[in-house]
Structure 1
Amino acid sequence: MKRIIALCLLACWVCSCSQPEVNAPEEAPEQMQGKPVVYQMFTRLFGNKVELNKPWGTKEENGVGKFADINAQALTAIKEMGVSHVWYTGVLHHALIADYTEYGLTNDDPDVVKGRAGSPYAVKDYYNVNPDLAVNPAKRMEEFEQLIARTHAHGLKVVIDIVPNHVARAYQSTNAPQGVEDFGASDDTSVEYARDNNFYYVVGEPFKVPLAENGYKPLGGEAHPLSDGEFDENPAKWTGNGSRLAQPKADDWYETVKINYGVRPDGSKDFPELPEDYRYKNAEAHYQFWQGKSVPSSWVKFRQIAEFWIEKGVDGFRYDMAEMVPVEFWSYLNAHIKHQRADFFLLAEIYNPAEYRNYIQLGKMDYLYDKVEMYDGLKDIIHGKKNTDVIETVQAGMADIERNMLHFLENHDEQRIASEPFAGSPEIAKPAMVVSTLISSSPTMLYFGQEVGEQGALDSGFGKPTRTTIFDYAGVPAHQRWMNGGKFDGGKLTPPEKALRAFYSELLLLSASHPAMLGQYQSLHSFNKSHSQAYPLNVFTFARWADTGEKLIVVSNFSNTEPADIQLYLPASLTGQWQLQAKDYPLTDLLGDSHAAAVLEAKQLFTTHLQLAPLESRVLALSL
């Protein structure tokens, strides 16, 4: 019943919110109508029912999920968790080891493919989808369009990857619209750099496959006609991570080539630069700025790619390694996207905090990964390297852009929470998830399998334990127990896994539906450290409230061994802003099985006494 009520609240809240306009960096993104919840689904793995999990196994041995496996039951279950956007990871046609020549596709060389199933970030054709994901590869685009329609029918938005910094070494589109030329087709390969070349070249030197390290062999050493230590590319192109060597190293992104955006080899820019005052102008002003200006060829190609997928009905892009591409290009691309669809969802993978504001304000990104600050800080608390002070410091430092910093504890690049190097148990990260989800008005992202405690323990071939492989054909054991042969009802989950998923559902629904989540924030941590003798150092507390009157106090105990006995005080500045009268107020717990009540007592400072079990969190709603 509680979940039904929360879903109703979510629907009402989303419908009732007005759509704000973006004119300054501290304002909310234009499409924000409720706090987004993003469900990252690794599409190839999500619907796979095969449990063999042979290292380096073929898709016939280990299985592969299809677009068709993501059925109504799956989408309903995802929606019921409060999810607003599904990021379908690995949709685009990327280099992989399988024979699809009967469909007019060329075979890929194992010497420049990572794993057997291939990296989704070595895109081979931006205008088509991975043939592995289709029941009928000849109709793979139609099958993805059907998935888009199913997703929309369940009230969910569709996000896919755009990988702007690099493409597969053997890029070749078979589905590009008329008049759209492949990357590099018109390049002058006699020079290292030209503004309208799509690639950089190592003039006069052919590409050489990296020397193997640590005993690595393509396909685990299995014989293959193209696996001969050679790849035909002359002259060699710069590698995706920026290596300028004709023979990159084994730990370079050797399976990809870097796109040239008009940045000369010395780092200088060969395109118009934005005036500084455009930092405070909206996307439409940026769109007008670029009208009539000459821009590099690669800029136009990626704009055409974006327009193609918008026409297909996609609702958002997640940009891979966006900081490796100049911010002016993002102004150009994102302004064109927002001119076409103001509600489009734009998420960027960026790891340099010094550049955050440039990519939000000048690049017109809606959201950035909050990995280096919030994620790393919470992980350090779990590892005992830092105390909860770091949360307050991080959030204060993000005060002007907190709306734009997407929070997560798992994604395809990071270790699974339940893996030994991270937490060793999904329970240990519960307080971190509560804080990560509720502390900001920014989106929360959940990686598939996280909600049932997937460990990422398999050695799948190229993909090694602690992370769920993105390079191999594999099953995801805990997720498969929830999937239950395609019923998506959790029928094979263990009791602890069911309880964990219920926790995530309750938390995410609260995040998505409660008005205070788009309201204001104030830390209670430092104040209580200095004013309360009963305030443990492994606790973090904060307040959230909305202008419509809803008020929350969030308390999390990060200790996995010690209960917390807390005398919590609210500063007079906060209670004055809340306009509390000199009386006691009931507090109702919105999270957890017990939903224990508490009382906010009117004393010299308003205070409440709380007892939390190890790893317990409370979300206390103040009743006026």
Structure 2
Amino acid sequence: METTEKIIIYQVFTRLFGNQNKTCRPNGSLEENGCGKMNDFTKQALHEIKKLGATHIWYTGLIAHASQTDYTAYGIPKNHPSIVKGKAGSPYAIRDYYDIDPDLAEHVDKRMEEFEHLVTRSHECGLKVIMDFVPNHVARQYHSLAKPAGVKDLGENDDCSQDFNPQNNFYYIPGQKLAGEIDLYDPEQGNYEEMPAKATGNDRFDAWPNRNDWYETIKLNYGVDYLHHTGGHFDPIPDTWKKMEDILSYWAGKGIDGFRCDMAEMVPCEFWGWVIPRIKAAFPQIIFIAEVYNPNEYRNYIYNGHFDYLYDKVGLYDTLRNITCGYGSATGITHCWQSVDDIQDHMLNFLENHDEQRIASDFFAGNPFKAVPAFIVSSCLRSNPVMVYFGQELGEKGMDCEGFSGQDGRTTIFDYWNVDSIYRWSNRGRWNTHLLSEKEKELRKTYETILHICQKEQAISKGEFFDLMYVNLNGWQMNEHKQYAFLRKYGQEVLFIMVNFSDTATQVAVNVPAHAFEYFKMTPSAQCNAKDLLTGKTEKICFTPESPTCTELPAYGGKIFKLKVK
């Protein structure tokens, strides 16, 4: 997927974003703790997100999923609470692929209409829309009420007497009912019965999932025989493939701009290689983002699976986290980009998302400003997309104990809750910074400045890259474990980027090798004006291979010098 802009994704957990209820009772119900709505994304709110620098907004948790909230008044059956995680439920335990979650609608019976308005509103505010596609598993009580006429439900035609059949939608454990360590009894609804038991979403092919399993979900069958180890059965095309194509086409037809595909590597790459070109034939501009954690599979899912972008989690995220926390060396950044250099444009960088701990939490950095150099690297290193998780730009700590989600440094995805920093930023729908602390305002401005650099500077969005670390090892005035430097160039503009992971301001002397001048076809200058795009201040620096470039880097910060070269 070619693009001339730097893609900047603002991920938002839809259920939590606009919630104005401050009750925050652990394990509280929707009535007690409240819930954000799609209509909370007003044009003013969306303009503020756009102003931050976002080009895309990922509305996490839109599709109807299992919950413990009673919507029987709207014809939606109750879910058994023993197979729902938290009062609000996991957004990745889908109960109806063709429906919007009723929690998110002001008028439940008009939830699809409210979603369609949300897409239109987002586009009018200059934001492209990304939504989740959860292909590997569904809720145990999956049943689609909203499916189009003529569409067969998942499992409707399954032969559940067979543990595996390539045309079944699920895997079965014939003759056994669901058991395991989970308490399947509820005082109101009695025992949850599943006979025969279906395989659990995290590839557990028995009837005994435990509390650490994805016990609230069941695994979808894409024609891979995990039970008898006979590999993939993809001819004829498995029924699940066709059903998933229909679901993707349905949502693409609603005008969205991209899918973030949950646990894409747990679904055979052959399916993606079949379905993505088919969807793009009808919707050429749509993008597909894959959650893939195995680096050995990256190129398979890009070249054979046709994904546009993959998470760079086990590479750049893990490395930057380690450096930020003080137990990793900045030299590791070089290894990160080298390991994916041939596919770098396909990698999605981030420092937070709904799965990871908040930077400001006690489990990560404790102080959100410590990650500013990491964010400069994550967003400016190459031209590939970068993502920000809502509240990251405000230093949200994620240290609440919300209920099913304990005090783990993450913002809950299972509970009804209020996110304090977002609540104060929203200022009851006014969406301004009046209730934010000075530090929160400063952090948000820092993120906004960096993201606007990414948007405006062609050297970032489509320029070339040169790593300077190989000539700065064991330097007398540059600590390669705490500082990192690189160049970006487009046309006659060069960005000289240096970051400092140290807690003290540091005078550095950075070598720029003759090879960089040859590679970029630049003329050295013994003295040139360099404007720091982060502060707007101009310095006179030396930019030659004969002498190092000297400057002072702030603690937990950096400089992005812009130079004009011949």
> What TM bracket, shorter-length normalisation?
over 0.9
TM-score (norm 1): 0.88
Give 1:598 shift.
2.5
Do residues 328 (structure 1) and 270 (structure 2) align? yes
Do residues 534 (structure 1) and 484 (structure 2) align? no
2:524–2:545 contact (8 Å) kept in structure 1: no
Partner of 1:494: 437
1:583-606 Cα shifts (integer Å, max 9, x gaps): 3321110013xx332334255525
Do residues 447 (structure 1) and 386 (structure 2) align? no
Which of these residues, 317, 322, 326, is aligned with residue 375 of structure 1?
Answer: 317
Rate the CA distance shift 1:267–1:323 in 2: closer, same or farther, 3 A: farther
Partner of 1:311: 253
Partner of 2:188: 225
1:102-145 Cα shifts (integer Å, max 9, x gaps): 21110001100000000000000000100011011011100111
Partner of 2:203: 242
Gaps of 5+ in 2: none
Give 1:521 shift.
1.1
Partner of 1:610: 551
1:383-441 Cα shifts (integer Å, max 9, x gaps): 22211010011111111011111000100000000001100010111111111111021
Alignment of 1:31-110 (within 5 A): 32-110=3-81
Rate the CA distance shift 1:612–1:424 in 2: closer, same or farther, 3 A: same
The one-letter code of the counterpart of 1:483 is S
1:164-212 Cα shifts (integer Å, max 9, x gaps): 0000000111111111111100000011000100000001001126336
- In the alignment, the residues of structure 2 paired with residue 553 and residue 409 of structure 1 have an alpha-carbon distance, to the nearest angstrom, of 22
Rate the CA distance shift 1:396–1:209 in 2: closer, same or farther, 3 A: same
The one-letter code of the counterpart of 1:551 is V
Partner of 1:365: 307
Which of these residues, 526, 544, 555, is aligned with residue 488 of structure 2?
Answer: 544
Partner of 1:175: 146
- In the alignment, the residues of structure 2 paired with residue 516 and residue 603 of structure 1 have an alpha-carbon distance, to the nearest angstrom, of 20
Partner of 1:14: none
- In the alignment, the residues of structure 2 paired with residue 600 and residue 577 of structure 1 have an alpha-carbon distance, to the nearest angstrom, of 21
Rate the CA distance shift 1:419–1:98 in 2: closer, same or farther, 3 A: same
1:382–1:429 contact (8 Å) kept in structure 2: yes
Do residues 268 (structure 1) and 230 (structure 2) align? yes
Give the match's secondary structure for 2:31.
helix
Give the match's secondary structure for 1:485.
coil
Give 1:473 shift.
0.3
Which of these residues, 337, 343, 360, is aligned with residue 401 of structure 1?
Answer: 343
1:296-340 Cα shifts (integer Å, max 9, x gaps): 000000000000001111111000000000000011111112111
Give the match's secondary structure for 1:486.
coil
- In the alignment, the residues of structure 2 paired with residue 419 and residue 315 of structure 1 have an alpha-carbon distance, to the nearest angstrom, of 32
Give 1:539 shift.
0.2
1:35–1:513 contact (8 Å) kept in structure 2: no
Rate the CA distance shift 1:250–1:597 in 2: closer, same or farther, 3 A: same
- In the alignment, the residues of structure 2 paired with residue 266 and residue 558 of structure 1 have an alpha-carbon distance, to the nearest angstrom, of 51
The one-letter code of the counterpart of 1:505 is E
Which of these residues, 591, 596, 602, is aligned with residue 534 of structure 2?
Answer: 591
1:492-548 Cα shifts (integer Å, max 9, x gaps): 100000010000111111112211112211111121225x421123100011112x2
Farther-moved stretch of structure 1 (572-581 vs 126-135): 572-581
Give the match's secondary structure for 1:540.
strand
1:212-247 Cα shifts (integer Å, max 9, x gaps): 6xxxx99xxxx7512x4x312110000000111212
- In the alignment, the residues of structure 1 paired with residue 31 and residue 148 of structure 2 have an alpha-carbon distance, to the nearest angstrom, of 33
- In the alignment, the residues of structure 1 paired with residue 285 and residue 276 of structure 2 have an alpha-carbon distance, to the nearest angstrom, of 12
2:483–2:501 contact (8 Å) kept in structure 1: yes
How much is the aligned-residue C-alpha RMSD, in angstroms? 1.5
Which of these residues, 176, 194, 203, is aligned with residue 174 of structure 2?
Answer: 203
1:183–1:198 contact (8 Å) kept in structure 2: yes
2:542–2:550 contact (8 Å) kept in structure 1: no
Partner of 2:564: 623
Give the match's secondary structure for 1:567.
strand
1:600–1:606 contact (8 Å) kept in structure 2: no
Rate the CA distance shift 1:603–1:200 in 2: closer, same or farther, 3 A: closer
Give the match's secondary structure for 1:400.
helix
- In the alignment, the residues of structure 2 paired with residue 95 and residue 224 of structure 1 have an alpha-carbon distance, to the nearest angstrom, of 19
Partner of 2:401: 459
2:485–2:497 contact (8 Å) kept in structure 1: yes
- In the alignment, the residues of structure 1 paired with residue 113 and residue 505 of structure 2 have an alpha-carbon distance, to the nearest angstrom, of 54
More strand by share: 2
Partner of 2:105: 134
1:67–1:144 contact (8 Å) kept in structure 2: yes
- In the alignment, the residues of structure 1 paired with residue 392 and residue 134 of structure 2 have an alpha-carbon distance, to the nearest angstrom, of 24
Give the match's secondary structure for 2:52.
coil
1:567-614 Cα shifts (integer Å, max 9, x gaps): 11211111123333353321110013xx33233425552532111121
- In the alignment, the residues of structure 1 paired with residue 229 and residue 4 of structure 2 have an alpha-carbon distance, to the nearest angstrom, of 39
Alignment length (residue pairs): 560
- In the alignment, the residues of structure 2 paired with residue 473 and residue 349 of structure 1 have an alpha-carbon distance, to the nearest angstrom, of 25
Partner of 1:557: 500
- In the alignment, the residues of structure 2 paired with residue 346 and residue 299 of structure 1 have an alpha-carbon distance, to the nearest angstrom, of 16
Which of these residues, 212, 233, 256, is aligned with residue 251 of structure 1?
Answer: 212
Which of these residues, 464, 476, 492, is aligned with residue 520 of structure 1?
Answer: 464
The one-letter code of the counterpart of 1:522 is F
1:360–1:367 contact (8 Å) kept in structure 2: yes
Which of these residues, 487, 511, 516, is aligned with residue 574 of structure 1?
Answer: 516
- In the alignment, the residues of structure 2 paired with residue 337 and residue 95 of structure 1 have an alpha-carbon distance, to the nearest angstrom, of 27
Give the match's secondary structure for 1:106.
coil
1:598–1:608 contact (8 Å) kept in structure 2: no
1:598–1:609 contact (8 Å) kept in structure 2: no
1:262-306 Cα shifts (integer Å, max 9, x gaps): 00123433445xxxxxxxxxxxxxxxxxxxx73100000000000
2:82–2:182 contact (8 Å) kept in structure 1: no
Rate the CA distance shift 1:311–1:577 in 2: closer, same or farther, 3 A: same
The one-letter code of the counterpart of 1:596 is K
TM-score (norm 2): 0.96
Give the match's secondary structure for 2:218.
strand
